Every structure is written in structure tokens, then in C-alpha cells.
Amino acid sequence: MNFIATIKELARTYQAFEGYSSPHIRSLGLTPVQFDVIATLANQPPMTYKQLGTKTLISKSSLTGVVERMVQKGLIGVLDNAEDARSQHIKLTPKGQKLFEKVFPAHIKHLETAFRQLSDKQLKEIENSLKALKSIFNH
């Protein structure tokens, strides 16, 4: 049971990251989920709900509501899928792309303030440790 401390530290780390990241995203006028959608769709070809859900890890039931609200704000558009009438493609609108170009660099700069406290070696070690941890759950 020596892994319990690791689980607790992982959860605390995620909570600390969210506590640092989310208020900044909100100060930019977005929710963290909206930011995730915009960052995922930016500079990408249109994608289906399923593809967007996989890339953002947002549940399909939550994603539908988020997309609808973002369509109402004019940030994303929904297109018919010519290859499959049962699905639709989602893409950023020009307004959404403009917002991405404003908020993404600002948020990266905000995150850099924290991450630059670590050396390149430390960042690589953390990345490798997280990949190793993830791999034990992805069978």
C-alpha cells in the first residue's frame, strides 16, 4: 500500500494546478472547459463530437451543452458531416479563432511563470514519471 501517498500527492498536485490555472482562464472570460475546447479546435480541421470528446476528455453529455453554448456565443460552428449523416463536425469560427489568439498566449505566459521554477531536467523527469504512471492504467 505504499502507493497511497503517491495517489494523494497526484490529487493534491492536480488540485493545486487547477487552483492556479482556472482563475486565470476565468479572468480571460472563459470557463476551463471552454478554454479546453477552443485550444483543441484551434488550427485543426473540423472534428466530430466524438473526436473532440476524446481530445478534451470531456464527457459526451457535458460536451453537447458546452458546444451549444459556444455556438450561441458565435465561438464555434457546427457543420453537417458529408461522410456520415449521423454526426456533425465542429470548428472554430473566426470570432473563436480571434479569441484563441488572445487567450492562449496569455494563459501560456501565466503557466510559464510557475513552470519556469523547474529546470528542463526536472520537467523531463516529471513528464517521464507521469507517462510511466499513465501507462500502468492503459492496458
**CATH number (domain holding residue 47):** 1.10.10.10
- Please give the pLDDT value at position 119: 97
- Residue 93 is given by DSSP the state -
* Total domain count, the chain: 1
- Please give the pLDDT value at position 58: 86
11-70 pLDDT tens trace? 999 999 999 999 999 999 999 999 999 999 999 999 988 899 999 978 878 898 999 999
Backbone torsions φ then ψ of 87, nearest 5 degrees: -130, 165
State yes or no: pLDDT of 84 exceeds 80.
no
Q: Which domain holds residue 56?
A: 4-135
- Residue 48 is given by DSSP the state E
Q: Own/partner pairs for 106-109, CB < 8 Å, 24+ apart?
A: 106/28, 107/21, 107/24, 107/25, 107/28, 107/35
- Please give the pLDDT value at position 52: 93
Regarding predicted confidence, which is higher, 87 or 127? 127
Q: Enter the C-alpha cell of residue 129.
A: 514519471
In the numeric block, the cell 489568439 is attached to 101
90-100 pLDDT tens trace? 999 999 999 99
- Please give the pLDDT value at position 86: 79
Specify whether the CB–CB gap between 118 and 126 falls below 8 A: yes
- Confidence bin at 87 (pLDDT 50/70/90): confident
Calculate mean pLDDT across residues 106-131. Answer: 97
State yes or no: pLDDT of 1 exceeds 80.
no
